[in-house]
Amino acid sequence: MKLQDITNMDKDDVLGMLGLEARRSQSNRLMTTLGTFGIGLLVGAGVALLLAPTAGSALRRDLRAKLRRDGRGDTVGANSDGAVPSNKASPAGATT
């Protein structure tokens, strides 16, 4: 090894010769972790879309229907007999 070789070496070369490496910074670790998490999120969403048993419009319709029902299976806002009140005015004398 010549003197010219030693003067051209940088920190990583010296550490590599000793079997060591430079310490990674906190921001570098954080960015790596967030990047991995983001990729996992995208892959998970893609797999969920591929394996979804129904189309998106049908899934949204089912979710809306489930959100309109409470825990007993009754429609939220239903009368005690289970009938859902209508927004339309009923004709005079008509019973529901």
Residues of the chain with pLDDT under 50: none
Q: Please report the pLDDT score of residue 85 as a whole number.
A: 53
pTM score above 0.75: no
According to the model, what pLDDT value does residue 4 have?
Answer: 73
Q: Residue 91's pLDDT is what?
A: 55
Amino acid 19: pLDDT: 85
pLDDT value of residue 94: 53
SS3 of the chain: CCHHHHHCCCHHHHHHHCCCCCCCCHHHHHHHHHHHHHHHHHHHHHHHHHHCCCCHHHHHHHHHHHHCECCCCCECCCCCCCCCCCCCCCCCCCCC
* pLDDT of res. 31: 92
